[in-house]
Structure 1
């Protein structure tokens, strides 16, 4: 069933300086940029923005926030840097400390992404606050591990978040944080199977969910668990699905997220960034990528060529 669809150089220099001077305690109301913001003030607006139409506004999702030299993964300063360039979805990972503080971290251990060692879950947050994050080249930065609350506060009126809840973290704790920060209008919870999606929907029927879907049967399993189409975004994996699958999911009003991390990003790096526009032209709506700036430039050209706009993009 189809859902109803409801002077440049100086400016760039100022933005660059603002990002380079970000304090580790960045808060929700600081460092707002006038351009590229996704302005969503209600859950209904999120539903509408994430509903498929032929004039849908294709977007980049920055995997782990879009790390780059000088900008670590899952860092607020990295989110700011990524959001300077384009309207963007930020994907990040959530883990829990020994004293039940939710923080942004992909790995179980601190070794790869910080100047610390050991398992994050075995340390209290007071210990994590002393650490510094490493950029993708292993260089220690001045940036610290952010809390989920800090991230959610910063994102309001700027971006959409897709929240990857790592193993051992209760969905209920993440949902409580989303509600506490009134972040429902710009938060999507990532799930990997129908049971996880059902658990999130039961806890928070109003929240948007990213669910894995590569066949009609995947949608049937979600429907059998009473999850309505208009609460779902379809993650179709890290390789393209057939045009028929895109058409099927679009027919249910769902946007499709294609993960380009890995092979597809490598293809674009070798063959040229028009690879990204080809993926959009063949049916993908959101590209989850490790090359957000390159993919973003390609999608911006695509949007201009097809005269695609959105009332929610400032």
Structure 2
């Protein structure tokens, strides 16, 4: 049904019980049709974002499908990962612009597909990563769009490709976007008014982010150390807080005490333990 504000809503008790967690939906208006996936919201809220997946203590490679699986098995609220674009515009998952001396942006996808990670996986594509993440509804996929090392124009081209793929795979319910490029996030907002966005680079106040329709700040932990009140300021502005990459017990405790919404860490096990034992 459409409510008075033209927001699409599911009628109460319209879905059969115990019939799964995702449902194919089609909405038609005249000759126009929109297909998407409605997901039962059972996503976790435990503050733990696994940085590049859960890899450090699991034997998996960073940004691998295996690291994503471990983060899901561990019950993390989110698994963060990084996206680059090949020379021929295929999207791959990796943190650095190079892998084993190969520059991703200047290499054809056929050659990139032959590269292996330290856990023997092939370099994963965004399509494969999304497919794996969509096989569950507990852990969000925190998709970082990496700024191009070639040009700002290529960053926006990458952004367009990423959002198009997320929409084509109907993965919107699973994906939140982050980036160091402010222009990238503003482009995502143009392409998807409902997307959840957070800015990584710092330097923007919560009110500035709110004014530009950016949903959250996702800053280096030093931003909190320099201004512990930033969490309170963000809450009052109505935006979320995340800090990276936090692996020290004392720093994790300080963020938990301050009420950070989520924390990005290479030590998800440690953050779980801190919250469980309140130590």
Query: How high is the TM-score relative to the length of structure 1?
Result: 0.65
**1:218 Cα deviation (Å)?**
2.4
**Aligned: 1:159 with 2:139:** yes
1:74 aligned to which of 58, 63, 76: 63
**1:43 Cα deviation (Å)?**
8.4
C-alpha distance in structure 1 between counterparts of 2:215 and 2:113, whole Å: 35
Q: Give the SS at the match of 2:80.
A: strand
C-alpha distance in structure 2 between counterparts of 1:288 and 1:299, whole Å: 14
Deviations 1:38-80 (Å, cap 9, x if unpaired)? 999758969xx79xxxxxx441111111223531011001111
Q: Give the SS at the match of 2:163.
A: helix
1:254 aligned to which of 239, 242, 246: 239
1:297 aligned to which of 258, 270, 273: 273
Deviations 1:238-291 (Å, cap 9, x if unpaired)? 2225453212211233321011x2xx52x32xx6xxx52442122212111111
Partner of 1:196: 184
Q: Which has the larger displacement, 97-106 or 238-247?
A: 238-247
**1:82 Cα deviation (Å)?**
2.1
Partner of 2:215: 232
Structure with higher RCO (Cα < 8 A, 6+ apart): 1
1:218 aligned to which of 205, 220, 231: 205
The alignment's C-alpha RMSD in Å is 3.1
2:257 aligned to which of 264, 281, 301: 281
Instruction: Label 1:105 to 1:288 Cα distance change in 2 as closer, same or farther (>3 A).
Output: same
More strand by share: 2
Contact 1:131 1:144 in 2 (8 A): yes
Give the alignment of 1:31-70 within 5 angstroms: 42=38, 57-68=45-56, 70=59
**Unmatched 5+ residue regions in structure 1?**
1-37, 51-56, 112-116, 135-140, 306-314
Instruction: Label 1:107 to 1:243 Cα distance change in 2 as closer, same or farther (>3 A).
Output: closer
Q: Give the SS at the match of 1:73.
A: coil
Instruction: Label 1:104 to 1:194 Cα distance change in 2 as closer, same or farther (>3 A).
Output: closer
Instruction: Label 1:214 to 1:300 Cα distance change in 2 as closer, same or farther (>3 A).
Output: farther
**Aligned: 1:101 with 2:99:** no
**1:102 Cα deviation (Å)?**
0.3
Deviations 1:84-142 (Å, cap 9, x if unpaired)? 1223311101011122110101112111xxxxx421222222222222101xxxxxx32
Partner of 1:143: 121
**Aligned: 1:183 with 2:167:** no
**Unmatched 5+ residue regions in structure 2?**
1-20, 24-36, 149-154
Instruction: Label 1:221 to 1:100 Cα distance change in 2 as closer, same or farther (>3 A).
Output: same
Q: Give the SS at the match of 1:295.
A: helix
